[in-house]
Amino acid sequence: MTDDLIGKSIGGYVIEGQIGRGGMATVYLARQTSMNRVVALKVLPKNLSEDGAYAKRFEREVAIVAQLEHRSIVPVYDHGTFDGQPYIAMRYMAGGSLDQHLARGPLAAEQVLNVYTQIAPALDYAHSKNVLHRDLKPSNILLDETGGAFLTDFGIARLIGDENPGHTITAQGVVGTPSYMSPEQAQGQPLDGRSDLYALGIMLFELLCGRRPFMSDTPYSIAVMQVTATPPSARAINPDVTPAVEQVIFKSLKKKPEERYPTAVEMVAALRTAIESPGGFNPHDTQPNRRSNIRDTQPMHPQPGGTIYLTPHAPAFTPQRPPSDYMPAPVSVSQPSVRPVRRRPPGASLWMNMTIGAAIGCGLLAIIGFVIVVVAAQLLDRINAPSSAGVTPTAATAEPSLSPTGADAATVAPIGVRDPMDGSIIYVVEIQRGDGPITFQIASQPLSGTAAPTQLTDDESRNVSPAISPDGQRIAFISDRDGDRDLYVMDIGGGSVQKLLDTQVNEFTPAWTPDGAALIVASDTRGDGATDLLRVASDGSGAFEVLFADNALRAGSPAVSPDGTTVAFVLGGPRDARTWEIARLDLSTRQLLSDVTDDDVRDGLPVYSRSGVLYWMSTIDGASTLYRQTTSGGAEAIYETDLYISGLQASPSGELLMLQEGAAEDPAANVVIFDPSDRTTEALDIGYAPEAAWAP
C-alpha cells in the first residue's frame, strides 16, 4: 500500500492523508461521507492482504474490540474490504500516541498518573473478558485533544502463534514486542493479566525516565534480560522520580507474576499514593508539581461490565493505608553502633548479570527454541480518549477510623533517660469520603493513654507539612484550599484557620523561628522549581521578606537554630537531587556560611536540637544515614538503616529525634524515636503517620 490511496474513496471513506505506517498496516486520516466525521482508517496493504494469517489477525482485532465496550478503549466504527484490502474505521485521536509525546522527553509523574488512571480500568475490563492485550507499549496508547487516553491495537491479543516475520518476536505462542514482554511471555509460558501489568511497569519506567529499562542490540538479548536482569534504578536516571514511585516500578517489574500488583487499578492506586500522599513522597522536597500538557477532563464513571474500585463510604473520615503486604515490617533494634555503609565493587553487579543471563539465556534457547523475528516497523495507528479522576481500590482502604495504628508491635530497645512519652504527634492522613476527592487532613494522636485521634482540619484540600510553634500552641501548615500551596496557621486543637502568606505561587516546608514571631518557608517565587527562602510574620499581617534567592538553585526544608541566628536548609539544583547539600544562612546578614556537607549523595532533613546540635540525613543506594555536626564542624555518622528515612524532627525537649522509616518495598513509614546520647531506638506503636511532628 502506498499513498496513492490519498484522495480516493474506500467504502464510504474519503482518505485525506496518512497518519502513520507500520509493519502490518497503514493508518490514514479519512472522512466518513455519510456522517461527515473524521476517522482513522487502518488499511492492510495488498501484499499482506493475500496472506491468510495477516488477514485473520485483522479480523481478530475487529472481533476483539467489538466485544470490548469501554470508554478508554478506542472504538471501532466499521470494517470491510475494498478491492481485496481489509480496513478498519476507528475513532480519530487528535492527540497522537503516547510515544510521540515521549519523544519530547520524559513525562511528569502527574502526567503519567493521568494516563494510567484512565487506561487501568480499561485493561482490567479487558482482562475480565478474558482478553490479554500482550502488546502494551506507548505507541498503543492514544490521546485525544483533551488528553484522554485510550488503549488500542488488540491485533495480537490472545493469538496462539504468529509464524510470519515483520513486527514481533514469535515462537510457539511467544508473541509481542521484546522491550515490553513479561518474563513468562518471553519464555512462552501460560499468561494471565499480570503479564500485561508487567508491560505497564516497563512503560512506567520509560515514561518517567525517557528510556526503557532493558536495552540491547538484539530482540533476543532483550528478551533474556526480561527474564534474568534486575531493572536499573529509575532515580539514578531521573532524580525527579521519588523513592516511593520507584518502588511502584520495582514491584510492577517483579519476575514472578504473583509478586506484582494483581490488577491494573491496584497498581495505579499505589502509584497515586506514591505521587500524592505525604507518606508517598518526600515531604521536604520543594520541587513543585510540573504542569501537565496532557489535560484533565471529567471524572470517569463505571462502565457496564467494567472493573471500577471505589472506596466504600466512611463515617466521619477514612484514612487510607497501603495494602498490608506493602507495610513495613516490625522494627527490631540492632546494635546501637553505626554499621559501615556497604558498597559493591564497581562492575560486580554487571558481571553477575552477564553470567546469569548467559546461562539462563542458553537454557531458554535450548528449552523453548526461541525464534527471533526482527522488528520491521511499529504501527502508528494510535488514538486518544477522555481523562478521568483517580479510583481507589478497596484493597488499599483502611478501617473506617482515623487511627493510624495497625502495625505489628515493635521490638523496643531501652532508651535510658529520655522524655516521657507524653504530648501528641501531629500528622497527615489521606481521606476519601465515598467516591469524593482524595484530601489530606491534619490529625492529632496522643502518645499515651487510649484517647482517640482527632481530626484538626476538614475540607476538600490538601493540608500538609505541619510544624508546631515553639510554645506548642499553634500549627503552621501548607494548604492548597485557595488553589496555590499557601502558608496557614491554626490553634493546636484545630478550629479557625488563618492564611499567613498569599503570593499566588507555591510554598513548602515551614519552620518556626524560636521566638514564634515568624516562619521560614520555601517559595517557588518564579514558578520554575528554583525556590527561595522567605521569612513570614506569624501575626497574620502578611508581612514577609526574602532571605535567600538564587534562580539556579532550590532552597528548602529550613531549620532554625535555637538562638535564632542561623537557618540550615537544603540547597541544590532544582532538577538533580544528587546535588542537594546542607547549607547555612546567617539570618542577620543574609549571607551564606560554610556548607555543612559537600558530597555526591542526597542530603536533607536538617534539624536542630535544643542545645544547638545540627542533624541531617543522607541517602545513597536506598539506605539512609543520620549525621550530626561535630564541634569542629565535621560530620559524625550516628545511625544507619537500610530503610528510607522520610522524616526527621526533634522532640519538644529537643534532645530526642523522631524518625520516619519506610521499608524498601513500601513508601509508608513507621515512627521511630532515636536517642543520640546512647544511639538507641524505639519504634512507636502508632503505625503509619506521615509527616509526623511532635507536639508537647
Residues involved in catalysis: 135
Helices (DSSP H) in 291-447: which residue ranges?
348-368
Structural contact between residues 386 and 298, judged by C-beta atoms closer than 8 angstroms: yes
- Identify the H or E element spanning 303: none
Give alpha helix (H) positions in 103-173. 109-128
- Closest by CA to 338, choosing from 684, 682, 636, is 636
User: What phi, psi does 354 have (nearest 5°)?
Assistant: -65, -40
Task: Give the whole-angstrom CA distance, residue 185 versus residue 135.
Answer: 10
Nearest Cα neighbor of 406 from 659, 686, 673, 682 is 686
- Grid cell at residue 216: 540491547
What's the DSSP call for residue 397?
B
- Using a 10 angstrom Cβ sphere, with 0-12 exposed, 13-18 middle and 19 or more buried, the burial of residue 564 is middle
Query: 696 by DSSP, 3-state: which?
Result: coil
Torsion angles phi and psi, residue 141, rounded to 5: -115, 120
- Helix 109-128 crosses helix 193-209 at what angle (to 10 degrees)? 170
In angstroms, the CA 680 to CA 682 distance is 7
Exposure pattern of 63-101 as b/e (b: 16+ CB <10 Å)? Answer: ebbeebebbbbbbbbbbeebeebbbbbbbbbebbbbbbb
Q: How many CA atoms lie within 13 A of 52 on its CB side?
A: 0
In the block, residue with C-alpha cell 479487558: 126
Rounded-to-10 torsion of CA 657, 662, 668, 673? -20
Measured between alpha carbons, how far apart are the two ends of the chain, in Å?
A: 76
Pair 514, 560: CB distance under 8 Å: yes
